[in-house]
Structure 1
Amino acid sequence: MKNHHIPTLALLLACSVSWLTACGATEQPAAALQEAGDTIGTRMEEASKEIKHELENENISLSSDDKKAPDAELTPDGRLLIDGKEVALDAQQRALMLDYRKRIAEVAMAGADIGMEAAGMAGDVLGNVAKGLLNGNMDEMEARIEEEAAGIAASAKVLCERLPALLAAQQAAAAAVPEFAPYASMTQSDVDDCHVEMN
Structure 2
Amino acid sequence: MRTLPLLALVALLPLAACGGNEPASPSSDGTAAAAAPTGSPLSRKIQQAMAEASRELATKNISVDREAGKPKAEISPQGDFLVDGKAVPVDEAQRKLLLAHRANLIAVAQAGIAVGMQSADLGIEAATGALKSVFSGKDEEFGKEMEARGKRVEAEAMKICARLPALLESQQALAAALPAFQPYANMDQSDVDDCGKDGNYTANYGGVSAHYDHDADDGDEADHAGAGHESDAAAEADAAAKGSSTPQ
Q: TM-score, normalised by structure 2?
A: 0.63
Change over 3 Å in CA distance of 1:176–1:154 after alignment to 2: same
Q: Which has the higher Rg, Structure 1 or Structure 2?
A: 1
Amino acid at match of 2:77: P
After superposing the two structures, state which structure 1 stretch, 74-83 or 46-55, moved more: 46-55
Q: SS where residue 196 of structure 2 aligns? A: helix
What is aligned with 1:84?
85
Unaligned runs of 5+ in 1: 1-11, 21-30
What is aligned with 1:194?
195
Contact 2:168 2:187 in 1 (8 A): yes
Change over 3 Å in CA distance of 1:32–1:59 after alignment to 2: closer
Superposition deviation, residue 91 in structure 1:
0.5
Q: SS where residue 93 of structure 1 aligns? A: helix
Distance 1:142 1:40 in 2: 24
Distance 2:56 2:50 in 1: 10
The higher relative CO (CA closer than 8 Å, separation ≥ 6) is in: 2
What is aligned with 1:103?
104
Distance 1:187 1:43 in 2: 37
Distance 2:108 2:174 in 1: 17
Unaligned runs of 5+ in 2: 1-12, 25-36, 201-248
The structure with the greater share of residues assigned to helix is 1
Contact 1:96 1:169 in 2 (8 A): yes
Name the count of aligned residue pairs. 173
After superposing the two structures, state which structure 1 stretch, 141-150 or 39-48, moved more: 39-48
What is aligned with 1:179?
180
Superposition deviation, residue 40 in structure 1:
4.6
What is aligned with 2:115?
114
Contact 1:174 1:181 in 2 (8 A): yes
Q: TM-score, normalised by structure 1?
A: 0.77
> How big is the alpha-carbon RMSD for the aligned residues of Structure 1 and Structure 2?
2.5
What is aligned with 1:3?
none
What is aligned with 1:139?
140
What is aligned with 1:56?
58
